[in-house]
Amino acid sequence: MTDRPPGILTVEHLRQLVAAGEVDTVVNAFCDMQGRLLGKRFRADFFVEHGQEHGSHFCTYLLATDMEMSTPAGFPGIGWESGYGDWLARPDWSSLRLVPWLEKTALVLSDIVDEAAQAPVSVSPRAILRRQVARADALGLRVQMAAELEYYLLQDSYEQAHVGNYVNLKPSGWYNEDYHLFQSAKTEALHRQLRNQMTLAGIPVDCSKGEAAPGQHEMNLRHTDALEAADRHVLFKHGAKVIAHQHDQAITFMAKPDHTWTGSSSHIHVSLWDRTGEQSLFAASAGSDEAMSRTMRRFLGGLVAYTRDLALFVAPNVNSYKRYAAGSWAPVNLVWGRDNRTCGFRVVGTGSSLRIESRFPGADANPYLAYAAVIAAGLAGIEQELEPPAEYRGDAYAATGVARMPRALYEAIAAWEQSALVRAAFGDDVAAHYLNAARVEQASFDQAVTTWERERYLERG
């Protein structure tokens, strides 16, 4: 236990804690397509005796649904005609940890298995990321990643926001608090709890800060191997909401909660290493005149070439695309630069800390899918020997003659549908499954009447 991060448990240690009465609940959790944690809460004594090898069943519709948990048609092999049977959430015991924001509770993340076939369910987000990590490993590459998570802390509770129809929401601050120590001190009781309890849950936090809008904050998670980084990311988002609720407040990871507010991002940092994790494969060799290795250049070339194709994994919702706006701190164009925050890809660090920051993912991104998209695009660049375009210098919002991210979900749907890389990297089943999910989301939005429309047309139209 001494070499494990705080909060990370072995099964034997869990047994000891259960026997001592220090843990009475085990949450068996998995991630759905929308990036939420779903699952069951078990009496701990039952789970350690009966759930250790097997896991727990859940209805297949949970990976073929929308934000409202409805049962839309169009998901291949998953619908009323299939009878909506069960899949198995099989624990990955390396993810077992205490969650200090819930009393006497441990949590384990699960992989989704088709029990009859004894095979992973290919469309599950964690399986999608696992396959990209395996692709990298086959090339002798170890992927390390980290996230900078932005979010708004609201004075409203989730219940108050709901009763108020999610209008006139009150951010916790009232002026831009980017790096402000005094303004952010007003919410330090909550943010101190976030930093410390996340770290105690095996989700090490480097730092937090006020962000570029009233009530907006950022939390930086420590870099680690890609799958572990995504596990930490999804657990952070879940735990942060629970902790905010305990404070009678709300945290939202919506990409653009209001058209007058700065969008919230989830910048993803990525670097490649040898299999031991000791040698950076991004840093140029000693004595080289190059600023980055050939591997890094080609990985970057893949990101520039293919991120648009994979936008559904980076920006999954209608609202995601409201964040992409010139002069907004969110990128627009598929260009790269060194320490240039106007570019979609920002190269930062030196030597072994050299890395690429993708600034395209919003806070609403499903981490497993967004991380998988970054890896898939980068590996395609390596395999196809793609060189990136010349570094963009200056204001990248003003760039002309370059590719840009889709302006709306329907553009992202078209890019995904037409992309050969999507099918080559993820398989036909994943390509079709997530295309249908995006179409369902777009259709739901197209049928809705918004407050903006009533304000604009009810009297004057």
What are 406-451's pLDDT values in tens digits? Answer: 999 999 999 999 999 999 999 999 999 999 999 999 999 999 999 9
Total-model pTM: 0.96
User: What are the structure tokens assigned to 10, written together?
Assistant: 């072995």
Distance between CA 371 and CA 261 in Å, rounded? Answer: 26
Same domain as 334, residue 261: yes
- Decide if 436 is inside a domain: no
Distance between CA 57 and CA 114 in Å, rounded? Answer: 10
Same domain as 221, residue 108: no
Same domain as 159, residue 71: no
User: What are the structure tokens assigned to 438, written together?
Assistant: 């995006």
* Range 290-319 average pLDDT: 96
Q: What is the CATH number of the domain that holds 50?
A: 3.10.20.70
- Decide if 437 is inside a domain: no
DSSP 280: B
Q: What are phi and psi of 330, to 5 degrees?
A: -95, 140
Same domain as 329, residue 258: yes
How many Cα neighbours within 13 Å face the side chain of 154? Answer: 24
Using alpha carbons, list the distances in angstroms from residue 302 to 20, 226, 448.
Answer: 52, 18, 37
Band of the pLDDT at 53, cuts 50, 70, 90? confident
- Decide if 124 is inside a domain: no
Band of the pLDDT at 1, cuts 50, 70, 90? very low
Of 293, 310, 326, residue with least CA distance to 398: 326
* Range 323-344 average pLDDT: 96
The end-to-end CA distance of the chain, in Å, is 67
Give the model confidence (pLDDT) of 170-216 as tens digits.
Answer: 999 999 999 999 999 999 999 999 999 999 999 999 999 999 999 99
Q: What are phi and psi of 309, to 5 degrees?
A: -60, -35
Per-residue pLDDT, 124: 98
- Decide if 232 is inside a domain: yes
How many domains is the chain partitioned into structurally?
2
Same domain as 229, residue 186: yes
Q: What is the CATH number of the domain that holds 199?
A: 3.30.590.10
Q: Interior CA angle at 292 toward 291 and 293, to 5°? A: 135
For residues 164-174, one letter each, b for 16 or more C-beta atoms within 10 angstroms of the residue's C-beta and e for the rest, the string is: eeeeebbbbbe
CA-based torsion, 114, 115, 116, 117: positive or negative: positive
Per-residue pLDDT, 51: 66
Same domain as 222, residue 104: no
- Decide if 220 is inside a domain: yes
Same domain as 401, residue 367: yes
Residue 229 reports pLDDT greater than 90? yes
The 10 Å Cβ neighbour count of residue 391 is 14
Decide: residue 68, CB within 10 A, 0-12 exposed, 13-18 middle, 19+ buried: exposed
Please identify, among 89, 119, 149, the residue that sits at the C-terminal boundary of a domain: 119
Same domain as 189, residue 229: yes
Same domain as 248, residue 163: yes
- Decide if 72 is inside a domain: yes
Do residues 121 and 113 touch, judged by C-beta distance below 8 A?
yes
Same domain as 256, residue 138: yes
Same domain as 145, residue 265: yes
- Decide if 460 is inside a domain: no
Domain range enclosing 277: 133-428
Provide the percentage of residues in the chain whose pLDDT is more than 70.
98
Using alpha carbons, list the distances in angstroms from residue 253 to 35, 50, 199, 367.
Answer: 11, 36, 20, 12
Same domain as 142, residue 43: no
- Decide if 451 is inside a domain: no
* Range 278-305 average pLDDT: 88
